[in-house]
Amino acid sequence: MRELDDPRKKASPLELAAHLTACLAMFIFKAGSRNEYNQKRKDLQFQKNFKKLFGFPMPHGDSVHNVIELLNEVQVEQLNQKMVQVLIKRKVFYKSRYRNHWYRIAVDGTGVVSFDHAHCEQCLHQTSKNGVTTHLHKVLDARLVTPNGFSISIASEWIENPENDEYDKQDCERKAFTRLAAKLKKIYPRLPIIILADGLYPYEGFFIICETNRWAYLVTFKDGNLPTVWEDVLALKPLQANNRHTEIAYSSDGNKKTEQLFCWVDQIDYKGHKVNWQECCETVTTTQKNPDGSVVVIKIEEKHFVHITDLPLNKKNIAASSYTGRLRWKIENEGFNTLKNGGYGLEHKWARKSYQALKNYFQFMQMGHLVNQLLVKSTVFQETFMKDKDHPTLQSLWKDLDAAMKWAKIKVARLAEISATRIQFRFVS
């Protein structure tokens, strides 16, 4: 934090890192708003514990906001990126790589905040059927996702209209992806990346970007995407009859049977790009055993997943490939949904006037979410709090944390003892 340029013109008794720490703490403690942060600040014991933990007094939320408005947004994002780079360097996600090589990077856009008026010149806008125009800000996020539940923002690009410039068409996710890809390659030039994305991304420009950057891809493929590829799939599928594989699994109690039928088509040419098509037809049958020993089917659920990838497919890897394609949902569930509904306030109007402040709050939110994930995904946390059948919810645990900050008296000597102890964190598999 001390490496960031201090934009303040007036002298302050608090160094810049104190304000940045307070902003980060808003999201670590899931304050949800600056007002709620200020309410915590009014509690004297909370203030004392805060200073013991972070080494700084708690500045007022308005003072924090004044600093956030001035911060260089590029430097703030780099602060988040440095945290992720340390984790990658220390091989925290090493065992989670796809095919023991690729880091799964899910890409998707989400709405951050909306207004009934133009918030700034970079606002996007959309008009409903009733003629009501909504002005909004959206961001395209690249998140490192893992099978054990991590969803960590590693780079983001705002979907915005050009500043002080005329435009014929609003900025869109595909345009933003071109800029995001350039940023990703600059930050992680040698990182083996596989891009996971939705049905918006199978297009020639996307394939060129991935090939140029030496990235793999595994994206959702919908009806209507690339008609010529679909024609080849229908023609080649009967000729590649050996490209079939079935897997059956049962729940521990034997009451649920999951049957997955996989098929794939190799080496389809699309404008010089070789793509592989894969399909998974999943049937989940739930049964119930009656007292007389007979078994009754309660429910049958059928799902259909289709993806395309540039990586080779075979019977040994087709199941893992289909599963990895569906991991894209972690950017929605463990990512955006958690940030919106898990206490972080993604859609809260943290900055009603300053677009720059809005961007900076978004980055501190990602950092707070990252810190909390490192806690929640640790084996110590899982075995201590989440092991039993009737374990508490994360929401209730954070309420307990808030209460502890208000009522407990943290011992400085104990903190020093913990800080001086070398600990290796392990995470759930």
pLDDT band (50, 70, 90) for residue 19? very high
pLDDT band (50, 70, 90) for residue 165? very low
More confident residue, 160 or 339: 339
pLDDT band (50, 70, 90) for residue 171? low
pLDDT band (50, 70, 90) for residue 166? very low
- For residue 54, is pLDDT > 70? yes
- For residue 386, is pLDDT > 70? yes
pLDDT band (50, 70, 90) for residue 167? very low
Mean of pLDDT values over 238-258: 92
- For residue 75, is pLDDT > 50? yes
- For residue 402, is pLDDT > 60? yes
**pLDDT at residue 11, as a whole number:** 83
Q: Which of 121-125, 210-214, 287-291, 425-429 has the highest mean pLDDT?
A: 210-214
HEC per residue, the chain: CCCCCCCCCCCCCCCHHHHHHHHHHHHHCCCCCHHHHHHHHHCHHHHHHHHHHHCCCCCCHHHHHHHHHHCCHHHHHHHHHHHHHHHHHCCCCHHHCECCCEEEEEEEEEEEEEECCCCCCCCEEEECCCCCEEEEEEEEEEEEECCCCCEEEEEEEEECCCCCCCCCCCCCHHHHHHHHHHHHHHHCCCCCEEEEECCCCCCHHHHHHHHHHCCEEEEECCCCCCHHHHHHHHHHHHHHCCCEEEEEEECCCCCEEEEEEEEEEEEEEECCEEEEEEEEEEEEEEEEECCCCCEEEEEEEEEEEEEEECCCCCCCCHHHHHHHHHHHHHHHHHHHHHHHHCCCCCCCCCCCCCHHHHHHHHHHHHHHHHHHHHHHCEHHHHHHHCCCCCCCCHHHHHHHHHHHHHHCCCCHHHHHHHHCCCCCCCECC
* Ordered structural domains, the chain, with CATH: 1-71+354-429 (no CATH), 72-341 (3.90.350)
- For residue 163, is pLDDT > 70? no
**pLDDT at residue 358, as a whole number:** 94
Average of per-residue pLDDT values in the chain: 92
Mean of pLDDT values over 297-315: 95
Residue-wise pLDDT for 323-353, tens only, equals 999 999 988 888 899 999 999 999 999 998 8
**pLDDT at residue 114, as a whole number:** 85
Mean of pLDDT values over 1-11: 91
